[in-house]
Structures are given as structure tokens and as C-alpha cells.
Structure 1
Amino acid sequence: MTKWCLWASSFPEGTLEWITMFNKGLKYYKSGRFHFDKIRYEYKRVIDSMNLPKNGELRVIDIGSGSGRLIHECLIPLLPKNIKEIVATDLDQSMVEFARSVNENPKVKFGVLDIGAENIPEHFYNRFDILFSSYCFQYVQDIRRGFSNCKKLLAPNGQFLMIFQFKTNYLFSIYKKMSSIDKWNKYMKEYANFTPHFSSKDPDSELKRLSKDYGLTLLDHKFEPEYQYYFPKWACLDIFQSIDFKLATIPKDQQEDYIQDFVTILSEVTNIDFSDEKTMDESIILSIPTVCVHAKNSESR
């Protein structure tokens, strides 16, 4: 029996909430790998440019680790052997628990962390030599606070690589549309005026100002507004449903209606029909404008 099966079987019988949380992590683990080739390429490109010391101990933090699969398949194989610890974090506790359940590397530790929060744990301040984050920062509503918190996490001269969606945000666009529906409005109010990150006419200047404001030196960055991913329609739906954190806030007797509306609006914002079960094995092309940011803490040791 695999480690994650043992973890699931440890729940008391009938603990529907925990089983649902486990299934959410498992669904993302199985389907959320569409971007692995891109991440692997960018991680290798930047890690090779970092000239990391081969002596001494290095500490790494990953923001938005999800199910943890990307860390093991893309990140760890590229890191030097002198990594002392890798702290894998996510906002979603169920994802953290799932990732912990499938981990077998003693260097990897797990924790819940909201990088967009007003306060982050002080024991993380100035602790990490490298910070990684892939396709997470589009979900940080206050990106300025997110950059500020990343600066706090980095040791002097510490570096980070962020890869995330800009210009569009399908999940938050769904929430924005749902905020105009009476029965869902009270659960979605904070998204009524949502604007995706770097959607201005000059995102390059916007990024440079943001980095400078928070004591970060840009080493390399690129905006790829036409970037696309190819994957099966069912995998795309699985991904969006596994990262939907609003379903848990909806009363149980309304969740079926919510899921139907969620899928309908997902089809509208992506221009892909997810309502026809007979076509779920079809391959689709989804546009995900992507920005890659390599920067360092301007403070020196």
C-alpha cells in the first residue's frame, strides 16, 4: 500500500471532510503536472546561473508547493547536495497534509504559509538562501505584500525565482463572475473588483518599480504573454476544482449548485466547454501568460 493510501486509511470511518481534503490533494497530484517541463527548464536555467557555493549549508523555501510532486520531480534533482533543508509551504492545509503524506525525503519539511498575509512567522525572517515559487503568485491578491514578505524570508544576497501567471487569472475571474450572482455574492465579495497582476500596458516597468520598492535587485525576467499549455480537458477541470478554495465555505446543501455554476463559468472564462462529459478526453490549448522573475535580496552579508 502506498504511503498516501496509508495516510487516507488512518482517518476515522465516515470522516467525510478529511476524505474530501485528501481527494483534493490527490486530484492535483495526478493532474497538476501540465507545467512540469516549463518549470524544469526555468529552474535549471536559473539554478545554473546562481553559482551556488558547494561548501556550507543552503536553505530553500518553496511557496505554493501544492501536492508536493513538483518539488520532488523538478526541483530537488537540480539542487546541489549541500542543501540543509527545503521548507515546502502552501496556503491550503489539506494540500500541505497530502504533500507531507507522500514525502520520503528527510530534508523536506512542510508548513502552512500565506505569503500574502500581513504577518508571516518571524522565525522564517532572513532564513533562506533561495526561494522558489511556481504558478502561485497569481493567487496572491496583494502582490506588493507578497514581494515584501519574500524579501523578509531571504537571507542577505538570497535569491528567488518566481514563475506565475500574469494578465489573466481564470480562478479569480470565476469568483468575480460568481460575485454578481445573488446566492454566491456573500462568499465572493472580495473578488468583485479583482484585476489580474501586471495587466497594465507596461508590465515591465511595473515589475521594476515593485522590485525596487522592496529592496530586490532584478537579475533576469521575462514576460511571455502568448504562453500556452496543452493537456486533456479532464485534467484541466481537475486542476481548477482542486485549487478552488471557496467550495469549502459553501453550505453543504448548496454545494451541488455551486459546482454546476463553477463549471459553467469556468467554461465561459476559458472559452472551453467543460459541460459535455463525452468530450473530456479531448486535448485543449489553454493560454497562460507567464512571467519569470529572478531577483536577489539587495542586502549584502
Structure 2
Amino acid sequence: MNSAENYITGNDMQHRDTNDLIGEFKYELSLMQGKCLDIGCGPGNITKDILLPSLPDEATIVGADISQEMVNYARKNNADNHLSYIVLDIESLDLPKDQIEQYDNAVSFYCLHWCIDLRRAFENIYKLLRPEGKALVMFIAYHMGFEAYIQLKQNPQFQPYLQDAHRYLPYFQRIGCKDMRASLEEMLRDIGFKILHCRNKEKNFRYSKQSLTNHVRAVNPFIKRFPDEDIKNYFLEKLVNEIIDQQNDNVPLNINKQKDDIVLKYYLLIAHVQKPST
């Protein structure tokens, strides 16, 4: 997840879904005046190419990511007069004081499912927003591909490197939540947000084996743990094959699947919320 170049070559799904969401919320984004925080901006290509043109001309964006490597890449390759980047852990127990209530708006696309403590992440978003500030977020609720981590953890050859595999499942998938939308709404209201929109959306994405391999390499948290290239490549091959095996029982019935297609089903949680005025 820390390799910016791998992420850019393997994030077609994220790119498509973010583009779709921004199209859906075009009007709301056009009203995002002032300073906007993009949480989990990664290498900054989506922030610059898709998000920035969707905001008013006078708006500014601060892209934030937990990875210094991602931020360095973004600063070098995706800077703009209206766009800057900072390192920020959205799960931090101690947010930088100079960031509190500094943002009129916040967005986060394909980031928050990595959080161990999702509630703390949303509490921090609440703190970062100014009164009446709004946030638009999209993150994975459930993805069948993540179950492959749990299966491969049973392999003695991989087990030492996947001891915490369960931690990398999306938050609601990890806790076994049955009604993810209702649980998210309850969490957001309890924190203090006014909910403007919230839903759990079923999606699917069509891969070739090579594009799936590129995607898995880009977002997999375990590959960097393996001691040499041979076992790293062997793990990647096994992981991709496990995901392919799992898809057979999960392909949506309305999908016209071709012979070499790999179609993965997943669910996204989308929420548009506002911090009340004080």
C-alpha cells in the first residue's frame, strides 16, 4: 500500500468508483467553498485529476495520507496552486492542534475501511471540520477478495507473515456486522453528525488475471513482509488464485461474464454528513 507507482497502476476500481461518486455528488461538490481535506489521498492523482476540477475555482485542497512515501510522491508529481499535501493519521489519538476546525469540507475515497478504529476516524473528521462543515466519504463495507487473506493464513508457509490478517478486513466485514448502513448511521449520529445521505451500495468490477494481479500488488499489506522475491511472488500468485476460486459462487446473476473475466462483487458505504453549527 505504500508504493505510489504500484498503486497508480493498480487502482482502476478506485478510480472508476470515485469518478462515479463525484459525478453523482456534482452539485454538492460545486458548493464546497473554502478549504477541503482529502483524507487518504495516496499519491494524489485522483485528488488532482478528479476532485480538484469538481470544486469551485477558489477552493483549496489539502491532501492527507498516513504514508510519508505517498505524500512525497504527491508533492513531487501532483502539486497545484490550489493543492498541497500533509502527513496525517486519521486515527490519531492526538490530532495536531493546528489542524483542529481548519476545514470547511472533507472527503475520503477508499481509505476508511483500512481503519482499525473507524469510530475514532470519524470523531477526528468531526474535530477537523469547522461548524457547519460537510464530509463526503466512500469506503468498502465488504469485499469478497479480502476473505482470501484468512484462507491463506492457514498455509504454514504464509502463516508467520499473516498473523494479523483479520485486522486488514474492512471494518464492518471484520466485526461481522449484518446491517452495515444502519450501524454506520448510528455511529455518525452518536458522534454528532447530521446525516444528509447514507447508503450501502452493491458494486462489481471486471478484471483480467493480470489486472487483478496489479490491483492485489498495489493494495496488499503483506507483500513487503516476505524476505525474498521468490516467496513474495509465490504468495501473490496463490492470493490471486484464491480470489479467483472464491468468485465462482459470488458473481452477480446479471453479469454477462466472458471466459477469462474475473468479476468481483463488493459493497461500498457512502455517507454525506454535516457538523452542526455551535
Fold conserved between structures, TM > 0.5:
yes
Change (3 A) 1:123 1:184: farther
* 1:68-107 pair list within 5 angstroms: 68-83=44-59, 85-107=60-82
Unpaired runs of at least 5, structure 2: 248-259
* 1:240-255 pair list within 5 angstroms: 240-251=216-227, 253=228, 255=229
Unpaired runs of at least 5, structure 1: 1-20, 274-281
Picking from 86, 90, 113, the partner of 1:111 is: 86
Structure 1 window deviating more from structure 2 (258-267 vs 174-183): it is 174-183
Q: Deviations over 1:187-209 (max 9, x none)?
A: 43333476643342222321121
* d(CA) in 2 for partners of 1:183, 1:286: 26
* d(CA) in 2 for partners of 1:266, 1:193: 19
**Residue 201 of structure 2: aligned partner:** 224
Across the aligned residues of Structure 1 and Structure 2, the Cα RMSD in angstroms comes to 2.7
Q: Which amino acid aligns with 1:36?
A: H
Change (3 A) 1:141 1:287: same
**Residue 242 of structure 2: aligned partner:** 268
Equivalent residues of 1:25, 1:94 under 8 A apart: yes
Q: Deviations over 1:248-287 (max 9, x none)?
A: 3333x4x4313312331233135379xxxxxxxx543221
* d(CA) in 1 for partners of 2:182, 2:158: 37
* d(CA) in 1 for partners of 2:17, 2:78: 23
* d(CA) in 2 for partners of 1:118, 1:187: 27
**Residue 254 of structure 2: aligned partner:** none
Three-state SS of the structure 1 residue aligned to 2:13 is coil
Moved over 6 A (4+): none
Equivalent residues of 1:35, 1:229 under 8 A apart: no
Q: Which amino acid aligns with 1:292?
A: I
* 1:1-301 pair list within 5 angstroms: 24-49=3-28, 52=31, 58-83=34-59, 85-168=60-143, 170-171=145-146, 173-182=147-156, 184-192=158-166, 196-199=170-173, 200-225=177-202, 227-251=203-227, 253=228, 255-271=229-245, 283-298=261-276, 300-301=277-278
Change (3 A) 1:110 1:174: farther
Q: Which amino acid aligns with 1:79?
A: L
Q: Deviations over 1:5-30 (max 9, x none)?
A: xxxxxxxxxxxxxxxx7xx3223223
Change (3 A) 1:178 1:118: farther
TM-score of the two chains, using structure 2 as the length reference: 0.82
**Residue 14 of structure 1: aligned partner:** none
